[in-house]
Amino acid sequence: MSSAETRSARAGRPAGHEKRRLRKTKTPGVYRRVDRDGTTVGYVAVIVVAGKQRKRIAPTYDAARRLKREGETDRDRGVLEEHGTARFVDFLDEWVERYQGQGRRGFRVHTRNEYRRLIQAYAHPYFPKRLKLVEVTPYALARFVDWLADEREQGKRLSDKTIANIVIPLRTALKSAQREGLIRQNPSQGLALPHREEDPDEEEVEAIKVFSREQLTAVLSLAPERHKLLLELLAGCGLRISEAIALQRLHFQLDGGTPEVCIRRALVKGVMGPPKSKRGRRDIRLSAPLADKLRAHLAANTGESTDLVFASNGGGALDPDNLRKRMLKPLVEEVGAPWAGFHTFRHTFASIHLSEGTNLVALSRALGHHSPAFTLSRYTHLLPGESAAPLDIGVVGPARS
């Protein structure tokens, strides 16, 4: 396939359109596109804006007439003249830098960085640089999804969840463009995403794994003294590593009958911000032995209330990636759990609570999940028992009259 044909397909236009000719129709400004042999292959609506022609391609005569009417309406409103030449990928780059979100929590720095990465990694390589924002069609977006799902194109298999995440910034940007009057309709509405059968081997790899109690005990006993308390806190409270390394002295309430750790922020990829979600802001009870160790640690390492509890040698924040590579990886390999990461402590916390019959609502709150239903769906396979016990309805009692 030639480069011109490839660009045409990605833009949602039939290949070879550059060689096709236009024939007048009974509607001024609407033309029939014909191949060299005279076969009709589509229609074109031409709108004159500031003395220049703007062409829009349509599959049918009625669709071309509709594009003609809509284009002239946009021109008369000033929309087409002002924004009609905006390039799609340029708009994505500009949008991701200024977008402020729609909810009360705004747009997190980490989310902006991730949206920027996805746009650069997937939208830029796929969509033609010259493709205009107003030319993005549902067909072009559908082909983009097909491209993401093609293992040969990607060099690996992108999961359905990954593809959905890649599409999110494009959908949000197009919604903003429609709201701002840059496009009349949002072409991403109704965009179908893949729902493929999972590879059994992939399911096995992605299944949540936890430490056995023996492995957890071994990990904590073999941990370097400098990081032992951090690992004990992860295991005893189910914290995310991003939450644990962001803790300050003021976040521990160790006096009184109910010692607690207060989760108010997280450090993600070097950026300090609020917890992952609204539910992430929570207070978690500490066991008496863990509270005693924390009191001793704070007493031995005096400082300001805003000082980090778990800090680097220079007093700054720990680097989770460096900590994982230098400390955790050798440790978990030694206890026979080379697959384990910092999140394994959180999963193990949930697993132990489920095995001991902890109330699901209480566990969901401790984990900072948005709902008990999410906690249940995430850890269903960790619930004890293979099936419900048989019910003897004879012991229920006599029916009421």
Report how far residue 21's alpha carbon sits from residue 283's, in angstroms, rounded to the nearest whole number.
70
pLDDT at 204 over 50: no
Mean pLDDT value of segment 101-116: 77
Higher per-residue confidence, 398 vs 245: 245
Res. 101 pLDDT band, cuts 50 70 90? confident
Q: Which of the residue ranges 8-12, 85-89, 147-151, 180-184 has the most confident prediction, judged by mean pLDDT?
A: 147-151
DSSP 190-216: T-----PPPPHHHHHHHS-----HHHH
Residues 213-382, CATH architecture? Orthogonal Bundle (1.10)
At 54, which helix (H) or strand (E)? strand 52-58
Mean pLDDT value of segment 216-228: 93
Q: Can you give the pLDDT at residue 257?
A: 82
How much is the mean pLDDT over the chain? 84
- Minimal CA–CA distance to 173: which of 281, 96, 60, 76? 96
pLDDT at 328 over 80: yes
Q: Can you give the pLDDT at residue 52?
A: 76
Least confident of 24-33, 102-111, 190-199, 230-239: 102-111
Q: Can you give the pLDDT at residue 19?
A: 56
Q: Can you give the pLDDT at residue 287?
A: 92
pLDDT at 116 over 70: yes
pLDDT at 2 over 60: no
Other CB atoms within a 10 A radius of the CB of residue 129 amount to 10
Report how far residue 345's alpha carbon sits from residue 228's, in angstroms, rounded to the nearest whole number.
13
DSSP 263-324: E--EEETTEEES-SSGGGSEEEE--HHHHHHHHHHHHHS---TTSBSSB-TTSSB--HHHHI
Whether 302 and 288 have beta carbons less than 8 Å apart is answered as no
Mean pLDDT value of segment 126-153: 93
Residues 259-282: pLDDT tens digits? 999 999 998 888 888 887 788 899
pLDDT at 56 over 90: no
Res. 106 pLDDT band, cuts 50 70 90? low
**pLDDT > 70 fraction of the chain, expressed in percent and rounded:** 84
Report how far residue 145's alpha carbon sits from residue 193's, in angstroms, rounded to the nearest whole number.
7
Given 3.30.70, 3.30.230, 3.30.160, 2.60.40, which CATH number is that of 3-83? 3.30.160
pLDDT at 398 over 70: no
Mean pLDDT value of segment 305-331: 92
Q: Can you give the pLDDT at residue 386?
A: 53
Res. 103 pLDDT band, cuts 50 70 90? low
Mean pLDDT value of segment 386-398: 56
Rg (C-alpha) for the chain, rounded Å, is: 29
pLDDT at 4 over 60: no
pLDDT at 212 over 70: yes
Mean pLDDT value of segment 206-220: 86
Q: Can you give the pLDDT at residue 85?
A: 74
pLDDT at 396 over 60: no
Mean pLDDT value of segment 298-323: 91
Which residues, in sequence order, are CB contacts of 114 under 8 Å at separation 6+?
none
Sequence ranges of the domains in the chain = 3-83, 88-179, 213-382
Q: Can you give the pLDDT at residue 195?
A: 85
Residues 341-361: pLDDT tens digits? 999 999 999 989 988 888 889
Strand partners, 317: 311
